[in-house]
């Protein structure tokens, strides 16, 4: 099986995370509508944030300093093929909007932003209930049915381990840091209890049939975090 890359979708019950790459608009009023707003004031900052912890939706200003917005969109699309990207444009940005859409932008919205219009676009591009099937090697995760299969056989995975596996699979091919797992899976800005993540990873390996001492699927990157790979065919489905 080939590895499927998909843009991360929200792990928060309150709604998606919006990264606003715009020096002039924080859009903090969206928080009252269940949107978690994170801000980057320039292109390099936006790319760093996306690389470290991808958002659910990206809003990019046509006036973004540091990196041309079309270049930023092209760069994001190389690793996140389905991340919803909204370009904020003014009356003078018609040509740039056309190039941005050709580069992979999902939609355009008028700038200065109107909260109601932007909220409609966010919900239209971030659609729960029609989530992609995730596959990494012989592991398949059906996000709509909430089912995990290993080599075609359903495996029982408790909720927290399911959320951890889902986040790792959504970010397959890159190292996910422990801090990122704490934010996205445990939904906390602090630190989880000692060894909590380690214990859940150990249990998850057992359920996936991965070797706990010499894992080939759920790899530990010492001092940083974890990375999921296609690995070797699982030896058992676990219980």
CA-wise closest residue to 17 among 8, 6, 26, 25 = 8
Mean pLDDT, all residues of the chain: 83
What pTM did the predictor assign? 0.55
List C-alpha distances in Å: 25 to 40, 53, 94, 119, 121: 10, 21, 20, 15, 17
pLDDT-derived band at 41, boundaries 50, 70, 90: very high
Going from N- to C-terminal start, the domains of the chain cover: 17-125, 134-228
For residue 237, pLDDT over 70 is answered with no
Q: Which stretch of 86-90, 179-183, 235-239 has the lowest confidence by average pLDDT?
A: 235-239
pLDDT higher than 80, residue 3: no
Tokens 């991808």 locate to: 54
Domain 17-125 in CATH 3.40.50.620: no
Fold of the 134-228 domain: Arc Repressor Mutant, subunit A (1.10.10)
Quick: pLDDT tens for 7-30.
Answer: 444 444 446 889 999 988 767 788
Quote the pLDDT of residue 63. Answer: 92
């Amino acid at each position: 099986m080939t590895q499927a890359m998909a843009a991360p979708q929200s792990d928060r019950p309150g709604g998606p995370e919006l990264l606003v790459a715009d020096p002039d608009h924080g859009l903090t009023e969206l928080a009252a509508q269940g949107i978690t707003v994170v801000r980057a004031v320039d292109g390099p900052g936006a790319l760093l944030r996306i690389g470290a912890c991808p958002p659910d939706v990206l809003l990019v200003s046509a006036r973004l300093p540091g990196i041309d917005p079309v270049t930023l969109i092209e760069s994001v699309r190389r690793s996140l093929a389905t991340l919803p990207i909204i370009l904020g444009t003014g009356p003078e940005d018609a040509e740039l909007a056309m190039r941005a859409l050709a580069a992979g932008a999902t939609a355009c919205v008028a700038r200065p932003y109107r909260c109601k219009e932007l909220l409609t676009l966010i919900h239209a591009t971030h659609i729960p209930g029609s989530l992609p099937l995730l596959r990494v090697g012989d592991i398949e995760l059906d996000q709509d049915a909430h089912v995990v299969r290993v080599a075609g056989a359903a495996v029982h995975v408790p909720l927290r381990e399911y959320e951890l596996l889902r986040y790792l699979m959504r970010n397959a091919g890159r190292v996910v840091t422990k801090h990122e797992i704490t934010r996205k899976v445990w939904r906390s800005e602090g630190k989880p209890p000692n060894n909590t993540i380690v214990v859940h990873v150990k249990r998850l390996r057992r359920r996936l049939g991965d070797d706990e001492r010499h894992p080939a699927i759920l790899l530990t990157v010492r001092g940083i975090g974890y990375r999921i790979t296609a690995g070797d065919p699982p030896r058992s489905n676990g219980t």
